[in-house]
Amino acid sequence: MEYAGAEETVDHSRMRNIIIVEHRAKELANRLWNDLSITAFGMSMGARVINTTRLEHLHFWRYVHMLYARFVDVATRHTCGVWTTGMPKFLPPTASLSKKFEACNTLYFFGWLFRNPAGLKKYRDALIKAFAPGARIQNKIQDILATVPSDRIRIGMHIRQRPFKGFENGEFLISLARMKTILEEFLREKMLHARDVALVVVSDCPIPDGAFEGFTTVMSPEDEKTNLFLLSKCSAVIGDNSTFSNLAAWFGDVPHIVATDEPVDWPYYRDKKKYFENTYATFTHGSLVYP
């Protein structure tokens, strides 16, 4: 996939600090894609990355953070403040920043649509280490995986049942019946049988008993972050067109099969064994985006 908008080579040798000031996004995966992209930019510049957004997502402290973010915005908007609103902004090494930032020792980032696919590829190992979950989450994941038969191929399934913000009529939600059909098609493509696999299913709502009758199934009861990294331990992720499904696949370096009500383009996936930039994962690329 090519990325338009790259500018001439820019000298940012003076840059020493990158501060992530504000997300303005509720979805965990949106925030993580953003922070991974900015951190990769920092690694390419040899700059220290400071993330101050934690308070933004805490009930009381978010008001304190709001005042802080507005102050920094006013102070940096016409100098060293970098914004992305509505459309993705690609960062080095994927694309160059404007020359106006050359004189900045510190850059301040606002928004959640920064993207950096070349940076994520180049600094993948360091990013995986930097963003790895803590011991508590890793222990939970190990406990869940211990219930999966060791001789089965783990297939991750992400099923969103609550509407996305901005799409309250349920656009982009995929029914359980359709998800099972896609799963069966996937097995046929891979020449696998139900007895060869175990499903690791995560969802934002309970899944009715029998939804995946005939399959060995493990339903995760854990929170969003745990479920994200749980899916990354599977051999493939079958999930909706969401940043969550795609990010789980990125962390696991496995394919994301985008579930859709339209027929799945199986020839497109046929030779894909690792993570790749999926044309059908439009939310991740920044089109049809939601906060």
Domain boundary among the residues 112, 130, 148 is at: 130
* Average pLDDT score over residue span 153-162: 95
**More confident: 15 or 46:** 46
187 occurs within a structural domain: yes
pLDDT at 1: 55
244 occurs within a structural domain: yes
273 occurs within a structural domain: yes
Residues 155 and 48 in one domain: no
User: CA 235 to CA 223: how far, in whole Å?
Assistant: 21
Residues 152 and 259 in one domain: yes
Task: Name the DSSP letter for residue 264.
Answer: P
Domain boundary among the residues 102, 130, 158 is at: 130
**More confident: 12 or 270:** 270
7 occurs within a structural domain: no
User: CA 240 to CA 237: how far, in whole Å?
Assistant: 10
Residues 144 and 255 in one domain: yes
Domain boundary among the residues 130, 164, 179 is at: 130
Q: How far is CA 259 from the centre of its chain?
A: 16
Residues 182 and 262 in one domain: yes
pLDDT at 9: 55
Query: Are the C-beta atoms of 234 and 138 separated by less than 8 Å?
Result: no
Residues 280 and 141 in one domain: yes
Query: Are the C-beta atoms of 116 and 94 separated by less than 8 Å?
Result: yes
Q: Please, which residues bridge with residue 198 across strands?
A: 154, 216
Residues 154 and 114 in one domain: no
1 occurs within a structural domain: no
Residues 214 and 163 in one domain: yes
Task: Name the DSSP letter for residue 103.
Answer: T
pTM for this entry: 0.91
* SS3 of the chain: helix, strand, coil, percent, to 5: 35, 15, 45
Angle among Cα 153, 154, 155 to the nearest 5 degrees reads 115
Percent of residues, the chain, with pLDDT higher than 70: 92
**More confident: 6 or 255:** 255
> What is the overall mean pLDDT for the chain?
91
Provide the domain limits for residue 248: 135-285
User: CA 105 to CA 288: how far, in whole Å?
Assistant: 34
Residues 260 and 148 in one domain: yes
User: Rg of the Cα trace of the chain?
Assistant: 20
Residues 145 and 276 in one domain: yes
In the predicted structure, residue 47 carries a pLDDT above the cut 90: yes
pLDDT tier at 5, thresholds 50, 70, 90: very low
CA atoms within 13 A of residue 23's CA, in its CB half-sphere? 24
The per-residue pLDDT for range 172-198, each reduced to its tens digit, is 789 999 999 999 999 999 999 999 999
2 occurs within a structural domain: no
3-state secondary structure of 144: helix
pLDDT at 170: 65
Residues 111 and 155 in one domain: no
In the predicted structure, residue 14 carries a pLDDT above the cut 80: no
Residues 156 and 255 in one domain: yes
Task: Name the DSSP letter for residue 110.
Answer: E
Query: Are the C-beta atoms of 174 and 258 separated by less than 8 Å?
Result: no
As for how many domains the chain has, the answer is 2
Residues 46 and 92 in one domain: yes
* Average pLDDT score over residue span 138-152: 96
3 occurs within a structural domain: no
The per-residue pLDDT for range 78-123, each reduced to its tens digit, is 999 999 978 899 999 999 998 889 889 999 999 999 999 999 999 9
pLDDT tier at 4, thresholds 50, 70, 90: very low
CATH number of domain containing 231: 3.40.50
256 occurs within a structural domain: yes
